[in-house]
Structure 1
């Protein structure tokens, strides 16, 4: 047993004792449970397992510190109403906002950040990383780092466009169905049921094989797939608002459907719809990445994270983690958006009170 192992356990036990002394019950349970888990991991995996725990704890601490600094920066720079809301946001939500900001910067300034073009061949196939290529080359000799940066623009941008279109179609249909009801509500509801009854991946593969794989076709098909989900939620939320007294008063004043939707129903349905937008983006983003992995999404030579995983999958057999980088980028954005959505749902539910 070397000094690292002794110091590792001494730090955990000492921290647990301090937490118990100052009556921090939750922190004590966390630290002492971690101590027991690390003790078992040390017996099974030895010193490498303890180094893994140390590195993981360092990454978590770095993420927590970055999230706290980002939250304080937003509180100081944003308008008063937004800063008041962000001041009580959990660190997970601020971490999600930070990741979304980084991805947005990558997508917007991709030509400035990427050292090479997304389709530019600059080396031999699967060349290792060097000063010119931070992450090495892919199967055609293109810079992997540059293609990941451009992939933030292509993959995320396409998913965002499809989500906006799906939300526009589903929200408008749901609001009109809630106000008008009758045969219009029945027709829209049955149409949504039909589309939702078909698995999304099978429906997308069938439509793309018929109409082609251009970006416009992908956006329209994905929007059609996910708009019924938005319709169902919007119909349910707006249905609860329509029965309120102020809606009946506005109708008795002679206000039309457009006024009711724009001035009365939509402002009182914003919070759950915004949270649903984040969830829909995650579903759309993962579907487009999956289609690209299967070869029916964004087509070469356009950089896309899903296709990058497929193109470099053979490197996993040689112990190279390059294919895991675009997969990790997909997972990180999905987790970040879910963190923000969870916080928004918590605020919208009124549990903060």
Structure 2
């Protein structure tokens, strides 16, 4: 007689999804916080309401920034641009790298040229390249930083996907499908991509965090978002000099950025399919 199966054991996918939602909850709350923030901000983001680096009080719960503007209002308003930029970078880089990496694995003759081009691009110092692209871009700003981060992120991601896809492409079922006359689209969508979910999810999480990091570093280099725009990364650079006077002006956006990055990475890890483990003999 077969032992009854518990609901938890019967639905590993449900457990994985529940765990991913739990880990992603902080990021989801931050996204809602960022979207609704401009409607909840008690003061205009560019209007001084107190003296510079004022401590927290009833009129400014997180105190004032370097110009006496309300830190809470700028924190509520400054999340959406950073999240949107990092999300766009992660989506474009992951999608592009997945398509190019799978093509490289399934078409080795083309793949050799793709990998050589990626290796040459990787040699370019990333910070220098971001500065060159952002400064040469007409008008500069956030779009220039996002474009630079995307262009520089794709070669690294292509190498990761190509390495993972190569082992899948060498398996017997993919070779059998190719010998049976299946076209490149079928091999990619039905044979290779389902076996790369773990890699793609992990890559997306890493690229999102990398996007947040690049936008934040660009803000410190006075690239990307410009004053008086409200942006979490820009808030850190603007108020670094007064961190001892009002730690909230720097600590609040730092905490928001860190929580967002960690939560997204943990959620991507939880969504990744579990690797099979050998059964223990009874």
TM-score by length of 2: 0.85
* Map 1:147-186 → 2, pairs under 5 A: 147-182=74-109, 184-186=110-112
Secondary structure, counterpart of 2:68 in structure 1 = coil
- Quote how far apart the aligned CAs of 1:86 are: 4.5
CA contact (8 A) 2:46 2:69 kept: yes
Q: Which has the higher contact order (CA 8 A, sep 6+)?
A: 2
Deviations 1:81-119 (A, max 9, x none): 7533245x4xxx666322112111112222223223433
2:243 paired residue among 311, 316, 329: 316
After TM superposition, what 4+ stretches of structure 1 lie above 4 angstroms from structure 2? none
CA distance in 2, matches of 1:341, 1:199: 28
Q: Where does residue 196 of structure 1 map in the other structure?
A: 122
CA contact (8 A) 1:121 1:141 kept: yes
Q: Where does residue 327 of structure 1 map in the other structure?
A: 254
CA contact (8 A) 2:225 2:231 kept: yes
Secondary structure, counterpart of 1:348 in structure 2 = coil
- Quote how far apart the aligned CAs of 1:202 are: 2.1
Q: Where does residue 274 of structure 2 map in the other structure?
A: 348
Asked whether 1:242 is paired with 2:173, we answer no
CA contact (8 A) 1:171 1:234 kept: yes
- Quote how far apart the aligned CAs of 1:317 are: 4.1
TM-score by length of 1: 0.69
- Quote how far apart the aligned CAs of 1:173 are: 0.9
- Quote how far apart the aligned CAs of 1:216 are: 2.3
Please state which structure has a larger fraction of its residues in helix: 1
Q: CA RMSD in A?
A: 2.5
* Map 1:43-62 → 2, pairs under 5 A: none
Q: Where does residue 83 of structure 1 map in the other structure?
A: 14
- Quote how far apart the aligned CAs of 1:247 are: 1.7
Q: Label 1:319 to 1:104 Cα distance change in 2 as closer, same or farther (>3 A).
A: closer
CA distance in 1, matches of 2:121, 2:255: 31
CA contact (8 A) 1:111 1:117 kept: no
1:142 paired residue among 69, 74, 80: 69
CA contact (8 A) 1:129 1:137 kept: yes
- Quote how far apart the aligned CAs of 1:299 are: 1.7
Deviations 1:21-69 (A, max 9, x none): xxxxxxxxxxxxxxxxxxxxxxxxxxxxxxxxxxxxxxxxxxxxxxxxx
Q: Where does residue 188 of structure 2 map in the other structure?
A: 261
CA distance in 1, matches of 2:132, 2:148: 10
CA distance in 2, matches of 1:331, 1:352: 37
Q: Label 1:112 to 1:119 Cα distance change in 2 as closer, same or farther (>3 A).
A: same
* Map 1:102-121 → 2, pairs under 5 A: 102-121=29-48
Asked whether 1:297 is paired with 2:244, we answer no
- Quote how far apart the aligned CAs of 1:253 are: 3.0
- Quote how far apart the aligned CAs of 1:319 are: 6.3
Q: Where does residue 5 of structure 2 map in the other structure?
A: none
- Quote how far apart the aligned CAs of 1:145 are: 1.0
CA contact (8 A) 2:41 2:77 kept: yes
- Quote how far apart the aligned CAs of 1:261 are: 0.9
Count matched residues: 269
Residue ranges of structure 1 left out of the alignment (5+ in a row): 1-79
CA contact (8 A) 2:89 2:207 kept: no
CA distance in 2, matches of 1:82, 1:157: 29
Deviations 1:172-214 (A, max 9, x none): 11111111120x2122111211221223222212221221523
- Quote how far apart the aligned CAs of 1:351 are: 5.5
Q: Which one has a bigger Cα radius of gyration?
A: 1
Secondary structure, counterpart of 1:297 in structure 2 = coil
Asked whether 1:131 is paired with 2:58, we answer yes
